[in-house]
Structure formats: structure tokens, C-alpha cells
Amino acid sequence: MSKITIDNDEYKLDEMSETAKAFTAHIQDLQKKINQLKMDLDQALTAKNVFTANLKFELEKELEKAEKSN
């Protein structure tokens, strides 16, 4: 028997109306999507940080090269 908890109150899925079960399914699906979006955001932010670090390194190399030329 499956249960869900909302605001510290437990509800048995098999005792819910079909509408309540549908809402529960939507909420579960949305939570999965939220979790995936959080993971995607973490990955994007990490990638951005790597590209920023690589850009800074490249610009420093160019600056050093220009200074040696002078």
C-alpha cells in the first residue's frame, strides 16, 4: 500500500479519488523534472566556470606573448 505525505499528513493512494491520484502523478512527475532541471543547471554552471577559467588562461597567455614581443 503506497502512501504520500503532504504537510506531515499521510494519505493512502488506494483510498484516493481518481482525480487525487492524477494530481499525485502530476506532482511526482513535476518533482522528477525539477530534480533534472537542477542537475542540468549544476552542469551548465560548472561548464560555464570551466570555460571562464579557460578563457582567462588563454587571455593571460596572449598577454604574456605580447609582453615578450615588446
Three cell numbers written together for 43 = 552542469
The pTM score is 0.74
* Residue from 4, 22, 25, 26 nearest 13 by CA: 4
Any idea where the domains of the chain sit in the sequence? Answer: 3-69
pLDDT-derived band at 61 (thresholds 50, 70, 90) equals very high
pLDDT tens figures, 14-39: 999 999 999 999 999 999 999 999 99
Q: 3 near 16, Cβ under 8 Å?
A: no
Q: How far apart are CA 12 and CA 5, in angstroms?
A: 9
